[in-house]
Amino acid sequence: MLEVRKAGDRGVAEHGWLSSRHTFSFGQYRDPKQQGFSDLLVINDDRVAPRGGFGKHPHRDMEIFSYVLEGALEHKDTMGTGSVIRPGDVQMMSAGKGVAHSEYNASQTDPVHFLQIWLMPAQKGVEPRYQQQHFTDADKRGRLVKIISPDGDEGSLGVYQDTRVYAGLLDGAETASIELAADRYAYVHVARGGVTVNGTVLNEGDGLRVRGERSLTFTDGKDAEVLVFDLRPNEEPSW
């Protein structure tokens, strides 16, 4: 079963320096039907103005990753990590028993567009950790490359949850497929462009809840960039 979450139905937050769209309930946006999916709690589509950003703030027991689409994002945290995240980079921060961080637009002149995504961890109180890895356009072109996994295999970043995340670029006649185990859910997020998944047309910002499917086939890409989450068969995040 495929259930579309249209981009235009997402929550909206406008703060001048920040324009954000919330796939699931977040901040002041609350929808009892959109409390996350499986272990996927947050997908925020953020555009931050030059010199804008999120000041230092704490997190605990959450798997947080950022996926930059345009511009550059500057990260600092209480683990002593400092980095700039650019398109193609995937940043994963496991908050564990507690960490504080800031995320600012690294440019004084250009906006930054990125996705911030939260996953519920399988265990509490782990030591915080930071990971960052670059995946080239060639890595993702016409295929779905694994960027996050429990074991950090195939060059992916590790996550403290039974979740695997794939990223792909599709355009024109390019096609890509992913197989799902019988007892798995999945979620598709179209970061930009448009694509067809198992005959369902999706546009930029759209999402797709997937239940009871053994495979997903991506076709008819229109400069599409997609994220695919292979998830446990739970309806909403929970401990």
- The domain segmentation of the chain, as residue ranges, is 2-231
> How crowded is residue 201: how many other Cβ atoms within 10 Å of its Cβ?
12
Q: What is the pLDDT of residue 54?
A: 81
Residue tagged 């250009």 (tokens): 110
Q: What is the pLDDT of residue 79?
A: 87
Q: What is the pLDDT of residue 156?
A: 96
Q: What is the pLDDT of residue 53?
A: 82
- Give this prediction's pTM: 0.96
Q: What is the pLDDT of residue 238?
A: 82
Q: What is the pLDDT of residue 104?
A: 80
**Which ranges of 69-226 would DSSP assign to H, the alpha helix?**
137-140
What sign results for the dihedral spanned by CA atoms 75, 224, 195, 141?
Answer: negative
Residues of the chain under the 50 pLDDT cut: none
Q: Which tokens in the block code for residue 102?
A: 């800031």
Q: What is the pLDDT of residue 58?
A: 87
CATH superfamily assigned to domain 2-231: Jelly Rolls (2.60.120.10)
